[in-house]
Structure 1
Amino acid sequence: MLSNTHLLQRFLGVVDCGTLHAAAEAIGVTQPALTRSLKLLEESVGEALFERRGRGLTLTPLGVLLAEQARHLLREQQLAEAELLAFRKGEHGNLRVGAASIWMMELLPKVIARMHESYPLLQVTLSSMNYAEGAAGLQDGTLDAFFGGFQIMEPLPSYLIRRPLFVARLVVIARAGHPIFELPTADAAALARYRWLSFQSDVAYLDNIREVVREACGQPLHVTAQCDSMSTTLELLRQGDYLAFLPSSFLTRAGGKGLAVVTTELPDVQFNSGPIFRRFLQQNAAFTLLLDTAVREVAEARLPVPGSLPPKGGGRAR
């Protein structure tokens, strides 16, 4: 049923356009021809793929599953064709990568630059995003790889591979001259007395300790600034008496200059970070080089590797 890519392309055209009329115009075929293609596909799978609702079409549960698998199949076909073209013409296609902040700011720029020294014609599309956005992009076929923290360790589809490269530990961060450093250890009440920054691209960071602080002292955290740029979040921390709950890995790089970790009584929260990528890319020489370079960059940054940091308390990644 998945061998006829021609039918799958027409099927996805209808999925993306929402109606037969719009899809026929977009694909460049007549509506009766498109209807026949859908009928052939439904006959091959043995069930209906769409339900009519008003003027539009809604996918059945089987249709949703087929659409997901069809996107991956067609993308892998595209990558395979690009690989063959690379042998024949020296062209290397396009690699679509999503990444979380630490990877975008500190790791991937050097990694991609080194890869381009060996594969100068490879086109890389790099987008900043959080884990949820990256997972969605991998599932809907708009991404080939995502680099970031695995805050939710759900099982992956068979076409994806997860590779942990280092451990991210969430800590309270403040500017080096923050008055909270006058305390040997900041308890929950002390944390609740100061202003907080929320990194909005991953609110799960701050959510990890909101309830812990409230349960311990009965006071909420006072979030007075929200920002979806990590570089701006770090600069705000340097400029004012704010607190933030962020990965300690930022302090090992240039972006952490002037900032320090606040010693607290909070339970430890840590999670692995690394790439999730399409299984097909294991055969891609350029991506293999990118991964090898990422491993070396993590080692040079002296980031803790998985298994090297035993948890100190009851915190958990989200």
Structure 2
Amino acid sequence: MIEKIHLAIIQEVEKQGSLTAASEVLHVTQPALSHSIKKLEQQLGIEIWSREGRQLRLTQAGQYLLAVSNRVLPQLQLAQERLQQFAQGERGTLRIGMECHPCYQWLLKVVSPYLDQWPDVDVDVKQKFQFGGIGALFGYDIDLLVTPDPLFKPGLQFEPVFDYEQVLVVASDHPLAQHDHVEPAMLSDEILITYPVAPERLDIYADFLTPAGIAPRRHKTIETTDIMLQMVASRRGVAALPRWLIEEYASKIDVAPVRLGDKGLFKKIYLGARVDDLATDYLRAFIQMAQAKSLANSGNT
């Protein structure tokens, strides 16, 4: 019978690279670890590892069990944490993953009243899942995903939260600031500053520049919104960000928004969750509060 320890051993050996290192992490002696796996192999009638000199390589069956381990162990860990929280009288922790860099400021406006209304629920924001949110949802590493690019897969549900316009951000004294809108060719001599995301996943490329066959003179990445806008204000480049965000910064940083194309570039922000978790009252409440907050501010977004 496959037990949790078997899955943990397979996962750690693959992660650590050796039985010795895995045994130290799992606090199990190496002979006991080897015996446990050998017994499992005998029971199943398969080999999990093949030896190449002193190296262990997972067989096809071992690779399958590794995939099972990576999927099942996080769920078991989450179940244990939730049960401990219930035993201690807590509701739980709502873990939110961010795939939308500039949405952090928006998120703070929702989190504050949410914490007031749900005092027995903690909120944890996982910034490291900005670029792998769907996998994080399936892997039970997060409970909600903030994203402008939902992937509608079985087992997941995405709720629209708010609409926004993506605009070009330039210094107030930049020549482009005098235009009602910009066309792709007008950016061919500009330095484009973006968050560290693959170009094909950036709206400014996917929905504006690439279809026109245009590329900026140079592409530079910056992780933080404040530094990005300071660079733009200093005429070190231009950026593409939500209009609502630029309107919030307008009084602090000397930048201006310019429409992308004569019709503008409009997007939606979604909250994604596992379908099975939508019955969780505090998770559903967060989605509803986010939608209500955005609806109340729709005139300013």
The answer, yes or no, to whether TM exceeds 0.5 is yes
Unaligned runs of 5+ residues in structure 1 are: 306-318
Summarize the Cα distance change of 1:43–1:24 in structure 2 as closer, same or farther, 3 Å threshold.
same
Q: Could you tell me which residue of structure 1 aligns to residue 95 of structure 2? A: 96
Q: Sort the Cα spacing of 1:145 and 1:139 in 2 relative to 1 into closer, same or farther, 3 A.
A: same
Offset at residue 210 of structure 1 (A): 4.3
CA distance in 2 between counterparts of 1:78 and 1:130 reads 18
Taking only aligned residues, the RMSD between alpha carbons, in angstroms, comes to: 3.8
Note the alpha carbon deviations across 1:126-172, whole angstroms, 9 max, x for none: 23246423345445554443322216x3x6464x4433333455332
Query: What is the match of residue 73 of structure 2?
Result: 74
Q: What TM-score, normalized by structure 1, do the two folds share?
A: 0.72
User: Matched residues, percent identical?
Assistant: 22
TM-score w.r.t. length of structure 2: 0.76
Residues in 1 aligned to 2:236 and 2:20: alpha-carbon distance in whole angstroms:
58
Residue in structure 1 matching 2:205, options 182, 207, 227: 207
**One-letter identity of the residue aligned with 2:283:** F
Shift of 1:193: 3.8
Give the aligned partner of residue 170 of structure 2. Answer: 174
Q: What are the ranges of 5 or more consecutive residues in structure 2 without an aligned counterpart? A: none
Shift of 1:235: 3.2
* Structure 1 position 45, deviation (Å): 6.8
The answer for the alignment partner of 2:221 in structure 1 is: 226
Contact 2:75-2:139 at 8 Å conserved across structures? no
Q: What corresponds to 1:148 in structure 2?
A: 147
Aligned length: 295
Q: Whole-Å Cα distance in 1 between the matches of residues 242 and 50 of structure 2?
A: 46
Further displaced range: 65-74 or 286-295: 65-74
1:250 maps to amino acid:
L
Distance 2:260 2:102 in 1: 23
The one-letter amino acid paired with 2:102 is I
| C-alpha distance in 2 between matches for 1:237 and 1:189 | 19
Q: How does 1:1-318 map to 2 (within 5 A)?
A: 4-39=3-38, 41=40, 48-60=47-59, 63-99=62-98, 100-106=100-106, 108-129=107-128, 131-138=130-137, 142-150=141-149, 153=151, 156=153, 158=155, 160-201=156-197, 203=199, 204-205=201-202, 206-208=204-206, 209-212=208-211, 215=213, 220-223=215-218, 225-240=220-235, 242-251=237-246, 254-255=248-249, 259-265=255-261, 271-302=267-298
Equivalent position SS for 2:74: helix
Cα deviations by residue, 1:249-279 (Å, 9 ceiling, x for unpaired): 5346x24556444245488655543233344
The structural deviation recorded for 1:224 is: 6.8
Cα distance change of structure 1 residues 63 and 191 upon mapping to structure 2, 3 Å threshold: same
Shift in Å, 1:7: 2.9
Q: CA 1:133–1:264 in 2, change beyond 3 Å: closer, same or farther?
A: closer
Contact 1:186–1:263 at 8 Å: present in 2 too? yes
CA distance in 1, matches of 2:42, 2:270: 42
**Is contact 1:197-1:244 (8 Å) kept?**
yes
> Residue 110 and residue 13 in structure 1: after superposition, are their counterparts in 2 closer, same or farther (change >3 A)?
same
